[in-house]
Structure 1
Amino acid sequence: MIQAITLLVIAALVAIDQVIKIAVVNRFAAGGSMDILFGLIRIRYVENTGAAFSSMQNQTVFLTIFTAVVIVMFIFLLMTKKIKPGFIYWCVAVVIAGGAGNFVDRVARGFVVDYIEPTFVNFAVFNFADCCVTVGAALLIIKTVYDLIRENKKYLSDDDKKAENGGDEKNV
């Protein structure tokens, strides 16, 4: 059951991404733009033939194959429950959705449609799928660091108990 729900969530996020991209493509010519949110964000249609932050330009074939392999690998891990349902599981699902949204663009258009441009900082133009990948990956990193710190505190706490008992583990 969890696998079916996971696939529905991934499909919903990809659908949201694609609907927004279709709206941007239909509303703007390449390079066309419109300021929103008091000018803090600009919707600007950009055709990105590279990866995140406009890196790896004109590497569409490589990026398409790489993305497909990563998506298949992650879906396999989720569907076989190699990653147990929980926080990390859903973070990976969000990363898959973002990768899949941009994968659809590369296959269908030969480029990724980017459209979110923050005007208050010099930053790359990106899209909803990029946000999914970034948020999912950032939460995975934060969770991993949190778990490492928590495990380290537990380990240090066990060492403190041993030291208090003169290093005799039987007294712990």
Structure 2
Amino acid sequence: MTSFKNRRMKIISTSFYIIFLDQFSKFLILNTIGFERSKNIIPNLLNLTLVKNKGAAFSLFSNSTNLLTITSILASLILITIILKFPPKSFWNLRGLAYLLGGTVGNGIDRLFRGYVLDFLDLVPINFPIFNVADLSINIAIICFIIDIIISKDKSRIKY
């Protein structure tokens, strides 16, 4: 039972760290750069360009703020229920849940209180949508889950 509580606390504390980092970075960019401007951080690689995203990933479902806010809240509640009821079985699953919850709540806070998500990380050399720390966290979660699946499949192939 203690290890289950420890795993739960690791997930929750990592998620809170991600939420803080996401919200603090958005606050910082909003108050230093503002909208309608861009600041080059790494030449030919990264700009900080603050935009309002009223949609989901890649601006899908634009102007569906209410639907996306409800979806964000429901997804967060489902993730919290999974974390509290079912202990993660592996390191990668634990990390994936933490990053997914942090990213989901981070963007959910924006939708709930602003009506849109603040995005600001702009990769210069490629035509890629502008994103934020929460988006990055959700993508890291997906990578963690993929690694977990690959490792579990490899372990299931081992014959004794």
Report TM bin, short chain. Answer: 0.7 to 0.9
Of 26-35 and 55-64, the range deviating more from structure 2:
26-35
2:70 aligned to which of 57, 65, 73: 65
Match of 1:164?
none
- Kindly report which structure 2 residues correspond to 1:65-144, keeping only aligned pairs within 5 A, or say none: 65-84=70-89, 86-144=91-149
Residues 40-75 of structure 1 show CA distances to partners (whole Å, capped at 9, x for unaligned) of 101000000001122111111111111111111111
TM-score by length of 1: 0.82
Q: Which amino acid aligns with 2:111?
A: R
- Structure 2: distance between partners of 1:11 and 1:146: 27
Contact 1:92 1:137 (8 Å CA) reproduced = no
Pair 1:22-2:47 in alignment:
no
CA distance in 2, matches of 1:124, 1:92: 24
Structure 1 residue ranges without an equivalent (≥5): 159-172
Partner-residue secondary structure (3-state), 1:43: strand
Alpha carbon RMSD of aligned pairs, Å? 1.8
Which of 1 and 2 has higher RCO (CA within 8 Å, sep 6+)? 2
1: distance between equivalents of 2:17 and 2:78? 20
Q: Which stretch of the first structure deviates more once superposed, 53-62 or 25-34?
A: 25-34
Structure 2, unmatched stretches of 5+, are: none
- TM-score, reference length from structure 2: 0.88
CA contact (8 A) 2:56 2:62 kept: yes
Contact 1:78/1:84, CA 8 A, preserved across alignment: no
2:43 corresponds to: 38
Higher mean C-alpha deviation, range 77-86 or range 97-106: 77-86
Deviations 1:115-147 (A, max 9, x none): 001001110000000000001112202321342
Mean CA deviation greater in 6-15 or 141-150 = 141-150
Pairing 1:46-61 to 2, within 5 Å after superposition: 46-61=51-66
CA distance in 2, matches of 1:17, 1:122: 23
* Number of residue equivalences: 155
CA shift for structure 1 position 80: 1.8
Larger radius of gyration: 1
